[in-house]
């Protein structure tokens, strides 16, 4: 629905489609969905997930996981099946990487999220990970959506880089319609004409989605900007926009990272970043004590 405002898109969803995505709409449930993740709940707690783009080897991953745990993250990330533009680039460690993720969870007590690309790997992913990520390039991989609809684990559904809110919500609808309502949305930037950032982080989608859906929504400041120097401001802005959490790429030696080098936030600076995120969350939470929200058209 190019050229349409978010309200028109919402109306499009509600009125023109043969089937509106009924299960994801807030107006049909009247309450927000909480999605458990380790000791936290998306939708109730502000959930910070961090870790390298890819699991590269056991010792560096475990060292990173320990430091992130000490800094106070709520969960760990790490890709083992990587969606790479070139078939000659590092593709991820696969099953070996899943074992490393499970070891990190065992050692830190933190839940782990990892991307699955192939419907045939969903069962394997569920054996090791606490949450299954559907990447931007697979948001409309319908067989994959149907597969994760049948699992008992939460799903992190990233926005397709060319997807409208209506398309994104319909992708989530596939998962809910198949019986799994533990879905968390993740805004990760969209393709625009702007080329100074990797993608354009669409922060206005955060409050726009909140008006329509009961599903929690987190923001990925790493893939959206593609540059570590832009990560902190976008983290803080995402909190102010009402996000339920963040997914941040962190590496102990960004310059040596095997994937997405320029956007890896340096591990040694991460404690300062998460402190600023938590302080911003605390500030925004004080707004809840303000008089009732004005109703705007």
Query: Which of ligand PEP, Mn ion, none interacts with 188 (beta carbon under 5 to 8 A by kind)?
Result: ligand PEP
- Indicate the residue among 191 and 279 with the shorter CB distance to ligand PEP: 191
- Reported residue count of the chain is 297
Terminal C-alpha separation, the chain: 22
C-alpha separations of 81 from 14, 58, 134 in Å: 36, 16, 11
How far is it, in rounded angstroms, from Cα 189 to Cα 187? 6
HSE toward the beta carbon, residue 101, CA cutoff 13 A? 34
Least Å distance, CB 165 to ligand PEP, is: 16
Position with the least CB separation from ligand PEP: 135
184: helix, strand or coil? strand
- Indicate the residue among 53 and 131 with the shorter CB distance to ligand PEP: 53
Element (H, E) at 126: helix 122-128
Q: Which residues bind ligand PEP (CB under 6 A)?
A: 53, 79, 83, 115, 135-137, 158, 188, 220, 223
Question: Pattern of binders to Mn ion over 6-45, x per CB under 5 A?
Answer: ----------------------------------------
DSSP 114: E
Query: Which of Mn ion, ligand PEP, none interacts with 214 (beta carbon under 5 to 8 A by kind)?
Result: none
Query: Which of ligand PEP, Mn ion, none interacts with 115 (beta carbon under 5 to 8 A by kind)?
Result: ligand PEP
Least Å distance, CB 199 to Mn ion, is: 12
Least Å distance, CB 54 to Mn ion, is: 7
Most distant pair of Cα atoms in the chain: their distance: 57
Least Å distance, CB 133 to ligand PEP, is: 6
C-alpha separations of 88 from 84, 91, 118 in Å: 9, 8, 19
- Indicate the residue among 53 and 122 with the shorter CB distance to Mn ion: 53
Least Å distance, CB 265 to ligand PEP, is: 13
Structure tokens at 181: 């309502």
How far is it, in rounded angstroms, from Cα 279 to Cα 77? 23
Least Å distance, CB 83 to ligand PEP, is: 5
Quote the distance between the C-alpha of residue 271 and its chain's center. 20
- The verdict on 220 binding Mn ion (CB under 5 A) reads no
- The verdict on 53 binding Mn ion (CB under 5 A) reads yes
- Indicate the residue among 128 and 199 with the shorter CB distance to Mn ion: 199
User: For residue 28, which of 149, 177, 151 has the smallest C-alpha distance?
Assistant: 177
- Indicate the residue among 53 and 241 with the shorter CB distance to Mn ion: 53
Which residues contact Mn ion by CB under 5 A?
A: 53, 260
């Amino acid at each position: 629905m190019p050229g349409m405002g978010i309200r028109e898109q919402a109306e499009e969803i509600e009125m023109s489609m043969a089937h509106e995505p009924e299960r994801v709409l807030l107006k049909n449930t009247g309450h927000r969905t909480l999605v458990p993740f380790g000791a936290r709940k998306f939708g109730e707690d502000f959930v910070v997930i961090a870790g390298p783009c890819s699991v590269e080897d056991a010792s560096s991953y475990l060292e990173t996981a320990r430091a992130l745990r000490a800094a106070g993250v709520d969960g760990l990330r790490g890709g083992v099946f990587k969606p790479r533009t070139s078939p000659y680039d590092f593709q991820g460690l696969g099953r070996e990487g899943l074992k490393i993720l499970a070891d990190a969870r065992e050692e830190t007590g933190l839940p782990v999220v990892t991307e699955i690309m192939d419907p045939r790997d969903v069962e394997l992913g569920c054996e090791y990970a606490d949450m299954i990520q559907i990447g931007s390039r697979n948001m409309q991989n319908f067989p994959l959506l149907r597969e994760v609809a049948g699992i008992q684990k939460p799903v992190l559904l990233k926005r397709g880089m060319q997807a409208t809110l209506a398309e994104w919500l319909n992708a989530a609808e596939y998962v809910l319609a198949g019986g799994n309502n533990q879905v968390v949305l993740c805004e990760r930037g969209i393709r625009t004409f702007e080329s100074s950032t990797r993608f354009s982080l669409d922060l206005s989608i955060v409050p726009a989605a909140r008006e329509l859906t009961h599903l929690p929504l987190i923001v990925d400041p790493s893939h959206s900007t593609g540059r570590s120097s832009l990560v902190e401001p976008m983290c803080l802005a995402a909190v102010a926009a009402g996000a339920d959490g963040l997914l941040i790429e962190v590496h102990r030696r960004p310059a040596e990272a095997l994937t997405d080098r320029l956007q890896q936030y340096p591990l040694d600076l991460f404690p300062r970043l998460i402190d600023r995120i938590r302080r911003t969350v605390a500030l925004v939470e004080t707004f809840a004590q303000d008089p009732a929200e004005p109703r705007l058209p």
